[in-house]
Structure 1
C-alpha cells in the first residue's frame, strides 16, 4: 500500500495511529519531532505525512512549509493532527500546504478514512 510518515511527539497518539495504519495495510515510519520528521521525509519521500503541530525542535507548521517548498514532495499528502482547534489555526495550516486537518481528540476511524481519502487522490 502506501508509505505513511507519522511525526508526533505524544507516544500514546503515535502508538494508536501506527496501529490503525498498519491494520489498514500501510508501511509506517515514525518520528517524534519536526527535525527528525523532515530528515525521515527526505529519506523516504512518503505518500502521506501525518503531522502534529506542537512538537520539539521544529513545529508541524514549519515542517509543512518546508515540505511544500520542496518539489520532491509535490505528490505527498499532508494531514495535520493537532489539538489546535481554532478556525485561524486550520486556515494557517491549509495555507501552509496541509491537505487536511484533524483535531485532537479524534476518532481513529475518521483519521483512517481521511488518510485513505487523501491517498486515493
Structure 2
C-alpha cells in the first residue's frame, strides 16, 4: 500500500470512530459520482488523483446545481499561495496542506457537521 492508501484508511477509520459515515473513491471521477449519489455534507478531496484531479472534480461538483452543495476540503501537498488560490477559485472551501494529522481533519469534519 502506498502512503495515500494509508492516509485514506486512517481518515476513514477516524470518521467511523466519530460515527460519521464515509465513502471512499479511488479517483476523481468516482468521487464526483459518489457525491452525486450520496449527497454528503462534507467532501474530502486530494488534488492529485487519477482519471480526474481534485480541482476538476470540485468544479464538476460545484457546477451541479440540483444538489445541496457540500463543504469541500482539499488535502494537498500543493500548498503554495498560487495553488491555494487555484483551489479556492475551483470552489474548494478549505485547503489542508500535507502532511496533516488525520485526527485534526476528523475534528474539522465534526465541527462542520455540528458534532
- TM-score, normalised with respect to structure 2: 0.89
Question: Which residue number in structure 2 is paired with residue 59 of structure 1?
Answer: 53
**In the alignment, structure 1 residue 78 sits paired with structure 2 residue 66:** no
Question: Which residue number in structure 2 is paired with residue 105 of structure 1?
Answer: 99
> 1:46 Cα deviation (Å)?
1.1
Q: Greater share of strand residues, 1 or 2?
A: 1
Is 2:72–2:92's contact at 8 Å kept on the other side of the alignment? yes
Is 1:68–1:74's contact at 8 Å kept on the other side of the alignment? no
**In the alignment, structure 1 residue 91 sits paired with structure 2 residue 63:** no
Question: Which residue number in structure 2 is paired with residue 26 of structure 1?
Answer: 20
- TM-score, normalised with respect to structure 1: 0.85
Is 2:47–2:53's contact at 8 Å kept on the other side of the alignment? yes
Question: Which residue number in structure 2 is paired with residue 114 of structure 1?
Answer: 108
Distance 1:60 1:38 in 2: 10
Gaps of 5+ in 1: 1-8
Gaps of 5+ in 2: none
> 1:45 Cα deviation (Å)?
1.1
Distance 2:28 2:38 in 1: 15
SS of equivalent to 1:91? helix
RMSD of equivalent CA atoms: 1.5
Distance 2:70 2:62 in 1: 9
The ranges of structure 1 where at least 4 consecutive aligned residues each deviate by more than 6 angstroms after the TM superposition are none
